[in-house]
Structure 1
């Protein structure tokens, strides 16, 4: 399936949380189930918008929303991305995710899941614990800091995916995540290692 990176497909919306507002980008049918698609450490770039577009076109369709956690900043290299990620207010990002989930539900989506890669994966798992409105989480390569959240206290089913051969150490503590997610009281929680992949 070809996925266009044309931003014209997205509707830019302003979302209110209790203490501030932020921009988000929405694509897909209004009454479809919703998916909050979280950025990697780069920011809201064409790659994350392509993921959202692809998700919106799967099956009968989804409504995908990408919240701008960096407030318009996009990294051009790894050093800048690291700087932006290290400066991120993670509790504030969780509030953005919660407001995004609520926005989708208030605007026609009957159920809303959260997904993300790397930093976005860590935030997705955290949202499955801290945001009661989240209905499901799928995370790719990312585990939240134990200072932020305990995945064993998940409120929503969490499915986490990791590559067995991935040698980067940082966000992917698959052993810790597997025990926590699989040990939660929520039906459907699992951490999966994709054997032979990076």
Structure 2
């Protein structure tokens, strides 16, 4: 059952060319903040040496090997956690740790889609995102799902944020082994995947004030709603009033980075509500 809820308090790519332009100008045309440059060293340290209990593994697929980071109970349901355009940095690791600690517990795995690279500012993040092999990223996701299923997780979900949110929805179409998806503020382009062909249950979250037109604004969220209705799968689309893009990023460093780019403060109540819905969805569909 699909519900759109106004919550209280070249090669195929995820983004079209227009979306790339919109994402870039959205950030680069914001007033400059010295804190962005001042925070670069801090962000590098956080990205390279986050003090979280991850196990680094390597996953093979086709003729390539990529690193991944795992945290959580060995025999718990698995969740693949997909990065924003920044790469595998402190914030996506924070999300994975949070997921692993949700009752009754999950095993979270972050595949390194950028192969060790991390964007420290908007220009670097855009460069990395534009250079991503999107079909290859979907293959990485599928290999990650299958690794979890081969290593103690009977069922596996996928979640992601921004770029990772779009890839999560694409995976619900393109990766048949997935058992559930929760996507945050991102919709794939029609060239990559048509959500009307989704095969796994999808829950999606968007901020009402998100102005990434065609990618994660309210219009894009409502269009996703219609596509998911057509798929016939269980699905929900939640829209959070008063919240913008990336409202789930609530670490001290993430909040500072958002402010340096002119992003409004997020709503803690909305974040907790989103996590509660995430937990309910994944528990429902990943229970053995």
- Quick check: TM above 0.5? yes
Paired with 2:84 and 2:174, the residues of 1 have a C-alpha distance of 20
Paired with 1:191 and 1:17, the residues of 2 have a C-alpha distance of 32
In terms of fraction of residues, the more strand-rich structure is 1
State the match for 2:163 in structure 1: 119
Matches within 5 A, 1:1-198: 5-7=50-52, 9-172=53-216, 173-186=220-233, 188-198=234-244
Query: Which structure's CA Rg is the greater one?
Result: 2
In terms of fraction of residues, the more helix-rich structure is 2
Cα deviation, 1:1-42, whole Å, max 9, x if unaligned, reads xxxx414x0000000112211000000011000000000000
Paired with 2:214 and 2:127, the residues of 1 have a C-alpha distance of 15
The runs of at least 4 aligned residues of structure 1 exceeding 4 Å deviation read none
Question: TM-score, normalized by length of structure 2?
Answer: 0.65
Deviation of 1:190 (Å): 2.4
Deviation of 1:147 (Å): 0.3
Count of matched residue pairs:
192
Unaligned runs of 5+ in 2: 1-49, 245-288
Higher relative contact order (CA 8 A, sep 6+): 2
Q: Is the 8 A contact 1:139 1:160 kept in 2?
A: yes
Unaligned runs of 5+ in 1: none
The alignment's C-alpha RMSD in Å is 1.1
